[in-house]
Amino acid sequence: MSTQNEQALLDSIPTGLFIGGEWIEGETGATFDVKDPSTNQVIRTIADATPADGIRALDVAVAAQDEWAATAPRVRGEILRRAFDLVQERKEDLALLMTLEMGKPLAEARGEVAYGGEFLRWFSEEAVRISGRYGLNPEGTGHMIVSQRPVGPSFFVTPWNFPFAMATRKIAPALAAGCTVVIKPPALTPLTTIFFTTLLEEAGLPKGVVNVVQTSKSSALSAPIIADPRLRKLSFTGSTEVGRKLIAQAAEGVLRVSMELGGNAPFVVFDDADLDKAVEGALAAKFRNIGQACTAANRFIVHKDVAGEFAKRVTERVNGMKIGRGTEDGVAIGPLIDEDAVAKAGELVDDAVERGATLLAGGKALEGTGTFYEPTVLTDVVPGSAILREEIFGPVLAIATFETEDEAVRLANDTEYGLVSYVFTENLQRGQRMIDALETGMMGLNVGVVSNAAAPFGGVKQSGVGREGGFEGIHEYLSTKYTLIPVS
């Protein structure tokens, strides 16, 4: 990929806020820089929204709400479908842009474009399937009508690690349901959302239906929007720590909330597992997105009889991974998002080794330009290690062992989180028992990637509330209304 092509793409990205269908400067004219984590160089300088800009965006979304809600479902769906088609036409630009601002390998960025685009296609079809019911009540005294209405103006806070898919996963169902949107993309990776918004414009989205207010001061901008009584929905993807604060703020206005929060995913390998499948699943579940995913496998819980062979095979593959800028051919491991992420990975690895874990591969940051950390394998990780409690968010695979099925379940469930789990076993009955026993909102049985636009994404415990995607996803943006008509 030539630097000339990169620069041409970057130069085409609007630098303003998108409010009321116009790209405008912020209230104060302030800006902030977006950097390429592989080089630490500034790639674009864009408008920095103030709280007043956020409220202005909400004003516009509120003003557009009634007309958008009254827009025919078929029309809403066709706009989403046109947006999907435009994403396919510009998929290489979207992928490159994500690689430049986030660092993931280009092949993975292309995968995110495919995944994120499917939310547009899926919810374009769901827009025309919003339905209710009609029937006689049990007493025979009246007819019951149950109907669905758009929740109303919605505020989205999206994360930096999947800047395209997390935007489409929220925007698509909201638009399909008839809700208007204010979205605050992440300060670290805002350009993808900005570019996607230009495609929504091109697809014919009416002015004011989607508004984009990027900022370097997230909490300052978000708080007054959440506190505004006209807002009816808040959706956030990010850490549990921040999610708790946003839920508390949303409680004041009794807002509908969707929270996709932290994860601490167990990856359980039984002694009857197909190790070839387990190794492939481990590499996908751990190193996809450089380990920077809430769905990333965090704790590898492997039966003691196969742990040695599993660790050996995984280590061989990890040692062959190419590290570098995501635009380079064959790169499997790009940079972490910033220096803090590198420092956290190093601290977790050092703590595990000090407590008795064995380092089989990697284990250190790379010197030089960019925020790179070696893909790492640890084995014999002991209970109490921080790496078993905290979300790693980096390319570190940590292996602990177990002996019995009950012990595996206990270890897997020994966390405040419950987003996703992975289980590898060739025993059908055992697999069914794991579906019932593991306390997670999602599970991969003999597979290392579970996300799909047609499936409900979300967790239990402190991994969040609500679901995104699937038939369930659009209902997060609908309120149910019951009407009784007496029998005459």
Would you say 423 and 445 are in contact if contact means Cβ atoms under 8 Å apart?
yes
In the DSSP assignment, the letter for residue 288 is: G
The arithmetic mean of pLDDT across residues 109-134, rounded, is 98
Instruction: List, for residues 404-427, the tens digit of each pLDDT value.
Output: 999 999 999 999 999 999 999 999
**Nearest Cα to 324, choosing from 274, 366, 266, 280?**
366
Would you place residue 109 in the very low, low, confident or very high pLDDT band (cuts 50, 70, 90)? very high
Residue 197: per-residue pLDDT: 98
The reply to whether 179 belongs to the active site is: no
The arithmetic mean of pLDDT across residues 236-245, rounded, is 97
CA atoms of 58 and 286, how far apart (whole Å): 38
Which one is catalytic: 101, 118, 260, 374?
Answer: 260
The arithmetic mean of pLDDT across residues 14-34, rounded, is 97
N- to C-terminal Cα separation, the chain = 73
CA atoms of 168 and 47, how far apart (whole Å): 22
Please state, rounded to an integer, the average pLDDT across all residues of the chain: 97
Say whether pLDDT at 1 is over 70. Answer: no
Residue 416: per-residue pLDDT: 96
Residue 236: per-residue pLDDT: 98
Say whether pLDDT at 3 is over 90. Answer: no
18 DSSP β-pair partners: 23, 212
pTM of the predicted model, to two decimals?
0.96
Residue 488: per-residue pLDDT: 83
The reply to whether 25 belongs to the active site is: no
Residue 218: per-residue pLDDT: 96
- Residue ranges of the alpha helices (H) in 335-385? 339-354
Residue 2: per-residue pLDDT: 65
CA atoms of 245 and 355, how far apart (whole Å): 33
Instruction: List, for residues 368-389, the tens digit of each pLDDT value.
Output: 899 999 999 999 999 999 999 9
Instruction: List, for residues 35-93, the tens digit of each pLDDT value.
Output: 999 999 999 999 999 999 999 999 999 999 999 999 999 999 999 999 999 999 999 99
Say whether pLDDT at 4 is over 90. Answer: no
Which one is catalytic: 112, 126, 179, 294?
Answer: 294
Q: What percent of the chain lies above the pLDDT cut of 70?
A: 100
Would you say 152 and 232 are in contact if contact means Cβ atoms under 8 Å apart?
yes
The arithmetic mean of pLDDT across residues 224-232, rounded, is 98
